Chains A and B, each alone.
Chain A
Amino acid sequence: MNRRRFLINISAALGYGALVNDAAALDAALAFSGKPSGFLGPDELEFVSQVSDIIIPKSDTPSASQAGVPAYIDFYLSEFLESKARNSFVEGLRELCNESIQEFLRLSEEHKTELIQSLDDRLGSSDESTVYKQLKELIVIGYYTSQVGATQALRYDPVPGPYKEIKLAEVGRAWL
């Protein structure tokens, strides 16, 4: 979707001035729902998808890619980020896997995990990778604010009723 038009749709939907039927405009704007907007190329998308699943794999609940995280990241890059920030992010993705994304994709599962683990270990240190940091943040947000992440990996209750104290065992997981 054209970025400008998209933003204008959303802004109308959220009440900046224009007299547009909001619900319809919002739905239109949300038509992306899970489908990649085609900003990242197939290899880049696959890379993001694999990294997402290394960080948030399938367990008793779905993995990050199963929750639509790669598509969300693709959408975020194309529609949310300013072009400069967007380009430097994509540049950075290459740097993450030592030059070539294709090469990364050919590595063994163990090797890929090791690579991500070593990037993750450096988080918070002086030589942390800013792109990894940004990517992880997007993966985590993308997952836990997705319907799958919020309702399965976490607990989500849109209308919880009056506040009350419970034991953790009664719900077993953290609330969104």
Chain B
Amino acid sequence: MSNTEYDVIVVGSGMSGAYAAKEFCEKGYKTLVLERGEMVKHRQYKTEGKAPWQMPFRGDVPEEFKAEQHIQKEVYIYNDYTRHHLINDKDHPYEQKRPFIWYRSATVGGKSLIWGRQSYRWSKLDFESNKLDGNGIDWPVRYEDIEPWYDRVEPFVGISGSYEGLEVLPDGKFLPALPLNVVERDMKKKIEKTFPDRHFIPARVAHLTQPQKQHLELGRVQCQARSECPRGCSFGAYYSSNSAALPAAERTGNMTLVANAQVQEVLYDHASGRATGVAYVDMRSGERKQVSARTVFMCASTLASVQILLNSKSETFPEGIGNRFDVLGRYVMDHCGGGGASGMVPGYLEDYYKGRRPGGVYIPRFRNINSKHGKFERGYGFQCGASRAGWHWAKTGKGIGKAFKEKVSQPGNWYFTMWGFGESLPRYENRIYLHPSKKDKWGMPLLVTDVAYGENESAMVRDMSDTAVEMLEAAGLQNIRRFEGEAPPGGAIHEMGGACMGHSVETSYLNKWNQCHDVKNLFVTDGAAFSSVSCVNPSITFMAFTARAVDYADQQMQQGLI
């Protein structure tokens, strides 16, 4: 059709972008992936396998670096082994009108390199909630639409999990589940007996417990339970873009990947009504470049994709490409969390384990399913696990001499911890926009975040803590500690919304195919597309939508419609 340099441009190589690239490349499209981060090739992980004594400060990070990463330093995986996978906040500022923690990757592969690997399907209810309770805009998609795409993505990713037959947490295509340990098996019995509506199941995680042919072909092998995943894993045993989707795209010969490329704008041609390509800056040389393609896929992560779209201004779209009705940047959400509890499990002192299991227990949503809770809408799930205390207590604990040393050499009691992740509500007034004058050093206008939780989220977090304590009590735990943190949005690192899918151009940015209502060859398939957030970790669902949108774009291109 047109004589563009590429068939497709994919912006971002994280969870969504790399998968889009794989799918397009396998269908034979010449695909350009533009990625802001530094190149990190699979198996070139600088700190992988390093023992603590091989690290200068045994894993601790000097203040100099924390100052450069004053936001990133708070993320729970931040240490001297992982910090180079996170962005330099000084170089990449944003403005918080209201507090928002924006965790960002510094590398090719995006946050897929450092994610927690928890992977759950959304349920029927998740897609219907906006319509049912009137918050946000109705999804133009239902579970049945996305189900076949989970079926496609999950086997490639490799997800370990158990078949439970729960409506609230549909089963997927699983590898064998990671086992519950002896303490968890007993807790499961007690909790499920006391609370028949609550299910205590193995976490579903993107780890190869039993690699299949398609994994082995990419050099991905069985998980060795090192639990050092955010450093990168040469076994390819957890899913990352770097270990799986990018090599799969690369082997087709159809992918061009450019790192250190900050995309600033999607280019638009008024005459044809199409996106013509993108403009980006080579972050090393500062050189500005334009590149053309038939189709553009935005996968730069939720906030970053919206930032680029808002900055894509033309005479037709002075407020950002496809944004005639001030919908772009609206309904930004994150999971609410911070509620939970922990406690000591008496006994089991003869029992131990070998290996650092990379996933524990999940308790799926049980609120507002068959009956109304009354104090808040929607629900939450818990990520949990039991393990024995190690030597760390000794850092601040009492004791000296041989007796102290002997005590430290033995594992301590078993502890069980549970953290809630809740579904926050979509709100029109929760938005992000561009700063009118401030720019970063490459000339990109800064993003301003104006997002906050409301009373529904506070009530939900309180309930999380209540039910966590109640379950630990039922399971017979001791010294139960109740958590009730109030981290600002962004803290759950499950940010979504901003370029929502919906039924009409007046109320939403994308149609049911992740396609911009007004610009048919422009797609957004990362979390920005989401009109609500469910309460389960979202990334596998980003991938399922991405796969579905690629399939649709492929058909449209074949028919010459885009």
Which residues does A use to contact B, with CB under 8 Å?
A: 7, 10-11, 13-17, 22, 26, 29-30, 32, 54-57, 59, 61, 72, 75-76, 79-80, 82, 113, 116-117, 120-121, 123-124, 133, 136-137, 140-142, 144-147, 150, 153-154, 156-171, 173-176
Question: Smallest Cβ distance from A10 to chain B, in angstroms?
Answer: 6
Determine which of B53, B181, B355 lies in contact with A161 in the assembled complex, contact meaning CB atoms within 8 Å.
Answer: B355
Could you tell me the distance in whole angstroms from the C-beta of B490 to the nearest C-beta in chain A? 23
- Give, as a whole number of angstroms, the nearest-CB distance from A143 to chain B: 9
By beta carbon, the residue of chain A nearest B406 is A59
Q: Are A154 and B409 in contact (CB under 8 A)?
A: yes
Q: Are A171 and B354 in contact (CB under 8 A)?
A: yes
The distance from the CB of B535 to the nearest CB of chain A, in whole angstroms, is 27
Known contacts being A22-B46, A120-B400, A158-B226, is A166 close to B56, with CB within 8 Å?
no
Most chain B beta-carbon contacts within 10 A, residue among A13, A141, A142, A167 = A141
**Judging by beta carbons under 8 Å apart, are B53 and A82 in contact?**
no
Given A150-B52, A153-B408, A158-B51: A174 in contact with B398 (beta carbons within 8 A): no
Q: Are A137 and B225 in contact (CB under 8 A)?
A: no
**Contact partner of B83 among A14, A150, A160, CB < 8 A?**
A14
A45 CB, min distance to chain B CBs, angstroms: 19
Of B247-255, B322-330, B345-353, B450-458, the stretch lying at the interface with chain A is B345-353
B-chain residues with CB within 8 Å of residue A156 when the two chains form the complex:
51
Q: Which residues of chain A have C-beta atoms less than 8 A from B405's C-beta?
A: 56-57, 59, 61, 153
- 11 A-B residue contacts at CB 8 Å? A15-B84, A15-B107, A26-B46, A55-B401, A56-B405, A116-B400, A154-B390, A163-B178, A163-B356, A166-B352, A168-B410
Task: Check if B65 is an interface residue, CB within 8 A of chain A.
Answer: yes
- B394 adjacent to A166 (CB under 8 Å): no
| Most chain A beta carbons < 10 A, residue from B106, B209, B351, B353 | B353
Task: Tell me the nearest residue of chain A to B91, going by C-beta.
Answer: A17
Q: Decide if A145 touches B351 in the complex (CB within 8 Å).
A: no
CA distance A148 to B354 in the complex (A): 20
The answer for the CA separation of A94 and B52 in the assembled complex, in Å, is 30
Contact A176 B390 (CB under 8 A): yes
- Which residues of chain A are near B356, meaning CB under 8 Å? 160, 163, 175
A26 to B412, CA, bound (A): 35
A168:B396 contact, CB within 8 angstroms = no
Q: Which of A17, A117, A162 is within 8 Å of B225, CB to CB?
A: A162
Q: Which residue of B lies closest to A175 (CB)?
A: B390
What A residues does B84 contact at CB under 8 A?
14-16
Question: Is B135 part of the contact surface with A, judged by Cβ < 8 Å?
Answer: no
Please judge, given known A-B contacts A10-B56, A123-B398, A174-B409, whether A167 and B351 are in contact too, CB under 8 Å. Answer: yes
Within 8 A of A (CB), among B23-58: 38, 40, 46-47, 49, 51-54, 56-58
Question: Do A147 and B53 touch (CB < 8 A)?
Answer: yes
A137 to B393 alpha-carbon distance, docked (Å): 10
Please determine whether A160 and B52 come into contact, CB atoms closer than 8 angstroms. no
Chain B residues lying within 8 Å of A145, measured Cβ to Cβ, are 52-53, 58-59
> For A16, what are the chain B residues with a Cβ–Cβ distance below 8 Å?
84, 88
| Residues in chain B within 8 A of chain A (CB atoms) | 38, 40, 46-47, 49, 51-54, 56-60, 62-65, 80, 83-84, 88, 106-107, 178-179, 181-182, 209, 222-226, 349-357, 388, 390-391, 394-402, 404-406, 408-412
Which of A29, A140, A147 is the one whose CB lies under 8 Å from B395?
Answer: A140
Chain B residues lying within 8 Å of A123, measured Cβ to Cβ, are 396-398
Enumerate the 5 nearest inter-chain pairs by beta-carbon distance, A residue then B residue, closest first. Answer: A15-B84, A163-B355, A145-B52, A160-B355, A163-B357
Smallest CB separation, A152 vs chain B (Å): 9
Closest residue of A by beta carbon distance from B62? A80
Instruction: Assess the A162–B223 pair: CB atoms within 8 A.
Output: yes
Q: Are B226 and A144 in contact, CB atoms less than 8 angstroms apart?
A: no
Q: Could you tell me the distance between the alpha carbons of A147 and B52 in the complex, rounded to whole angstroms?
A: 8
What is the bound-complex CA distance between A111 and B533, given in angstroms? Answer: 63
- Chain B residue nearest in CB terms to A85: B63
Interface contact B51-A147, CB-CB below 8 Å: yes
Docked-complex contact B57 and A54, CB < 8 angstroms: no
Q: Are B56 and A32 in contact, with the CB atoms below 8 A?
A: yes
Closest-CB distance, A99 to chain B (whole angstroms)? 22
B209 and chain A: residue at smallest CB distance: A162
A147 CA to B62 CA in the complex, in Å?
A: 22
B350 touches A168 (CB 8 A): yes
- Whether B38 and A15, one on each chain, are in contact in the complex, defined by CB atoms closer than 8 angstroms, is yes
B409–A166 contact, CB under 8 A?
Answer: no
Supply 13 further A-B pairs (C-beta < 8 A) apart from A150-B52, A168-B349, A175-B356: A56-B404, A133-B396, A153-B409, A154-B390, A154-B408, A158-B49, A162-B209, A163-B179, A163-B225, A165-B181, A174-B388, A174-B390, A176-B52
**How many Å lie between the Cα of A169 and that of B72 in the bound state?**
41
B475 to chain A, nearest CB (A): 19
Q: Once bound together, how far apart are the Cα atoms of A117 and B352, in whole Å?
A: 32
Q: How far is the CB of B115 from chain A (nearest CB, A)?
A: 18
Q: When chains A and B are docked, how far (Å) is the Cα of A140 from the Cα of B80?
A: 19
Q: Which of B49, B56, B65, B179 has the most CB of A within 10 A?
A: B56
Which residues in B have their C-beta under 8 angstroms from that of A142?
58
Measured between beta carbons, the chain B residues less than 8 angstroms from A163 are 178-179, 225, 353-357
In contact, A162 and B224 (Cβ under 8 angstroms): yes
Of all chain A residues, the one with the shortest Cβ separation from B60 is: A80
Bound: A121/B399 CA distance, A: 8
A169 neighbours in B (Cβ, 8 Å):
350
Q: Say whether A168 contacts B352, CB under 8 Å.
A: yes
Max chain B Cβ within 10 angstroms of own Cβ: one of A56, A159, A165, A170:
A165
The CA of A29 and the CA of B62, in the complex, are separated in Å by 14
CB-based contact B181/A146 at 8 Å: no
A142, B411: Cα distance in complex, Å: 19
Residues of B within 8 A of A140 (CB): 391, 394-395, 408
Task: Give the CA-CA distance A14 to B350 in the complex, in Å.
Answer: 41
Is the Cβ of B223 less than 8 Å from the Cβ of A165? no
Q: Hey, which chain A residues are within 8 Å of B404, CB to CB?
A: 55-56
Contact across chains for B65 and A11 when beta carbons are under 8 A apart: yes
Indicate if the CB atoms of A30 and B409 lie closer than 8 Å: no
> Which of A72, A144, A162, A166 contacts B222, CB < 8 Å?
A162
